[in-house]
Amino acid sequence: MHEISDPSAPGELPLTVRILPGRSASWAGLGGGLALAAILLWCARLSDGRASAAWTGIALVVLLLSVIGPGLRLLLQLPLIEASELGIAIWIHGAYRRPFFVPWKHVQAIVLTRVRAPHDGAGASGRDALGIVLDQEARARPVPALAEVPVDGAERADLAWSGRSISGDPRRWVDLLKQMKPTRAGPGST
């Protein structure tokens, strides 16, 4: 199976497109966990006896948690969004949980929209984002909540990811998925 994670090379459409999460959050989580573990080990070194053993144990737990979560995601290159001939799978709640899956026949459109962080003011300028518009049947199922909100006047999308949450340029992902959708959705679809 032909897979790509960056649609920069022109040519034939791939069978599967894997859009990876933005790496900055994973690196920040890994770095923060390692820094916290180092601080806890330093506290263990300053204390003596039982307190030292407790601090060391806590530091090891923090170290393991920081390596297991973000470390594995960085190492294994697990996707956040995966589009195939069947539809689009989205891992909202982590790589090892069941994905939110939408068959192509329930995807109305792939759009370039603009979003902003929820804590930004209503007048804040937005960022380009990959947007997916679902039909009524797909929206009848619980749709994952957006971490970013649409900017006033932007193209409507039920699901959206900006460059902060996915790797690569959202405009290029939109173009690739738009090309994939008509060829994968079957006859009579748009």
| pLDDT (tens digit per residue) in 105-151 | 999 999 999 888 777 776 667 889 999 999 888 777 776 666 777 78
User: What tens digit of pLDDT does each residue of 1-36 get?
Assistant: 334 444 445 556 567 888 888 877 778 878 888 888
Distinct helix (H) and strand (E) counts, the chain: 5, 9
Q: What is the C-alpha separation between 140 and 15, in angstroms, rounded?
A: 28
In degrees, rounded to 5, the angle at the alpha carbon of residue 166 between the alpha carbons of residues 93 and 116 is: 90
Question: What's the pLDDT at 12?
Answer: 61
Q: What is the C-alpha separation between 9 and 40, in angstroms, rounded?
A: 46
Question: Mind giving me the DSSP string for 88-137?
Answer: EEE-SS-TTSPPEEEEGGGEEEEEEEEEE-TTS-TT---EEEEEEEE-HH
Retrieve residue 110's tokens.
Answer: 């792939």
**Residue 118 contacts residue 149 (beta carbons within 8 Å):** yes
User: What tens digit of pLDDT does each residue of 68-86 get?
Assistant: 777 777 777 778 889 988 8
Retrieve residue 70's tokens.
Answer: 């973000």
Beta-carbon contacts of residue 35 (< 8 Å; ≥ 6 apart):
none
> pTM of the predicted model, to two decimals?
0.67
